[in-house]
Amino acid sequence: CEKDVLIEILTQRCNSQRLMIAEAYRDMYNRDLITDIKENLSHHFKEVMVGLMYPPASYDAHELWHALKGVDTEEKCLIDILASRSNTEIFQMKAAYLMQYNADLQQDIDSETSGHFRDTLVNLAQGTRMEGYVDPSTAAQDAMILWEACQQKSGEHKNMLQMILCNRSHQQLWMVFQEFQNISGQDIVDAINECYDGYFQELLVAIVLCIRDKPSYFAYRLYNAIHDFGFHNKTVIRILIARSEIDLMNIRQRYKERYGKSLFHDIKHFASGHYESALLAICAGDTEDY
């Protein structure tokens, strides 16, 4: 079956190799491979195969555009991408967004979302997080500001909360979270969940979880997408493709440790046909369960 061949070729190559294949395809047949994939495949299988053909930054830009400009804003997609990307990845995705859609990502976030959720997304989209910088003397001070923000919940406190979470380095925030525990006797995630709600709360928690252990965050998101939302295809596809050459092996490990079943097992249980085959090929591994 030609679809099986397509799955094998595209899933067993890295992204740079797939881009070279697309270039050779254009040279040999004077046709665009992505266009031909779109015309000859359908539904979620098509989404997977097309998604594999984007460079990482272009794929993030593609997902953000559809999350912002679709019929309904897909807030969870915005959270997954912007809470987890490095400064470099954010700069690359903004450039890709501008090139692909002739639009400014921060402006689109500003116009399509609202409130403190919007302000936090815009802050993340600036890509201004400190890198590698640690100042132990200010960790307790930041922790106190976070604790007060969870107690008082004023607009000013929310601004301070998101400014610290969006701009301090990962190493600094590790210390801040420990100081927060010392001051409040409570984990920062539990405090945020108690004090805030809605997408603002989800975004803040995602930032904290990604700073602590990004593979665990994506394992959690995959489990939710598979089990709590009746297999939310867009989320599963997006995470598997976006993380496939970064930390998918670690995500699979965390998934199995935390939930008892392998990611491979759960995909096989809920998906079918060539769509299932494509997802399993990207997921690759954990076959000892069968």
From CA 12, how far away is CA 282, in angstroms rounded?
A: 8
- Residue 51 marked ligand-binding: no
DSSP code string of 54-105: S-HHHHHHHHHHHHHHSSS--HHHHHHHHTT--HHHHHHHHHHHHHHHSS-H
Measured CA distances, 276 to 33, 40, 45 (Å): 22, 18, 8
Sequence-ordered list of residues with C-beta below 8 angstroms from that of 185, at least 6 positions apart, any chain: none
How many other C-beta atoms lie within 10 A of the C-beta of residue 24? Answer: 11
- Are the C-beta atoms of residues 162 and 170 closer than 8 Å to each other? no
Which amino acid is it at 30?
Answer: N
Find the Cα–Cα–Cα–Cα dihedral 16, 18, 23, 27, rounded to 10°. Answer: 140
Can you tell me whether residue 209 is helix, strand or coil?
A: helix
Give the span between the Cα atoms of 282 and 49, in whole angstroms.
Answer: 11
User: In residues, how long is the chain?
Assistant: 290
List binding-site positions for Ca(2+). Answer: 230
Annotated binding site: 230
